[in-house]
Chain A
Amino acid sequence: GAGVSQSPSNKVTEKGKDVELRCDPISGHTALYWYRQSLGQGLEFLIYFQGNSAPDKSGLPSDRFSAERTGGSVSTLTIQRTQQEDSAVYLCASISSGGSYNEQFFGPGTRLTVL
């Protein structure tokens, strides 16, 4: 089956604009995670979904960041009023069930550049 997919692969936007990043997890995976990877850095946890609910949003950097998940599948990460420090690669990952200690499968990421 298909792996985790993300779109767009690259996004260039101007400071102050809103952006939406999309993640399609592996079919049947109930848990979904968003991470952010700044240049030369490790991955930083943003938010966790179990089904359509987000029991852990502790990693969202500010209230400009939000995410939703519908139908227990596709997730969208929205960044409002983008700032230059938001430039990074945004990765999502899915797993068959949250909290289980098995492999998180990563998508290819969306590279966001804020000018």
Chain B
Amino acid sequence: GENVEQHPSTLSVQEGDSAVIKCTYSDSASNYFPWYKQELGKRPQLIIDIRSNVGEKKDQRIAVTLNKTAKHFSLHITETQPEDSAVYFCAASGSNTGKLIFGQGTTLQVKP
């Protein structure tokens, strides 16, 4: 069945360093890959997404890359700040329904 694997499960970086979170997906029909940020006790919020016809997308300090051949996609956060600390989820979608299959999440801690 559809599956998304996300690594690492926890990530601790110093403020100003970069953070990279990686995901792999199993369904080759997947063509939409959003990333959500979830702060403690809050709802998930979309931070960036990428569609399968694009290899890379950037929005200020956040970038996402997609390798469809390898079925990998990654989130890159540069110049991390303490407010970036949260749980990050990758997801993949490819069905006609648009349902999202989520990874298990990465807890990012940015130390000041």
User: A interface vs B, CB < 8 Å?
Assistant: 31, 33, 35, 40-45, 48, 50, 55-56, 59, 91, 95, 98-101, 103-104, 106-109
Task: Give the nearest-CB partner of B96 in chain A.
Answer: A99
- Is the Cβ of A31 less than 8 Å from the Cβ of B43? no
Q: How far is the CA of A109 from the CA of B93 in the complex (A)?
A: 21
Residues of A within 8 A of B98 (CB): 31, 33, 48, 95, 98-101, 104
Task: Give the nearest-CB partner of A33 in chain B.
Answer: B99
- Is the Cβ of A103 less than 8 Å from the Cβ of B49? yes
Q: How far is the CA of A59 from the CA of B102 in the complex (A)?
A: 13
**Does B67 sit within 8 A of A, measured CB to CB?**
no
Known contacts A31-B98, A59-B99, A99-B97; 14 further A-B pairs (Cβ under 8 A): A33-B99, A35-B102, A42-B89, A42-B105, A43-B44, A43-B91, A43-B100, A99-B98, A101-B51, A103-B34, A103-B49, A104-B34, A104-B100, A108-B42
Scoring B31, B93, B99, B103 by chain A CB atoms within 10 A of each residue's CB, the highest score goes to B99
Q: How far is the CA of A31 from the CA of B43 in the complex (A)?
A: 18
Q: How far is the CA of A44 from the CA of B104 in the complex (A)?
A: 10
Interface size bracket, B side:
20 to 34
Q: Which 4 A-B pairs have the closest CB atoms?
A: A101-B32, A42-B102, A106-B43, A43-B102
Residues of B within 8 A of A106 (CB): 43-45
Q: Kindly provide the distance from the CB of A25 to the nearest chain B CB, expressed in whole angstroms.
A: 13
Task: Give the nearest-CB partner of A97 in chain B.
Answer: B98
Q: How far is the CA of A41 from the CA of B89 in the complex (A)?
A: 10
Residues of B within 8 A of A31 (CB): 98
